[in-house]
Amino acid sequence: MYTRYILKQGDRGIAVNKMQAYLNMFQRAGYIRTAQSEDGIYGTKTATAVKEFQVFARLNPDGVIGSNTWDTIMETLKLLGVTTNIPVASSSYYLTSGNTGIDVFKMQEYINSIASVNPCLRPVTVDGAFGNATRIAVQQFQYLNNMAIDGKIGRATWDEIVNQVNKMGS
Give me the residue spans of the domains in the chain: 14-79, 102-169
Residue 168 pLDDT = 79
Predicted confidence band at 2 (pLDDT cuts at 50, 70, 90)? very low
Predicted confidence band at 1 (pLDDT cuts at 50, 70, 90)? very low
* Domain 14-79: which CATH number of 3.40.50, 1.20.120, 1.20.1070, 1.10.101: 1.10.101
CA distance 160 to 165: 9
Q: How far is CA 108 from CA 125, 138, 143, in A?
A: 7, 9, 17
CA-nearest of 81, 54, 76 to 65 is 54
Predicted confidence band at 48 (pLDDT cuts at 50, 70, 90)? very high
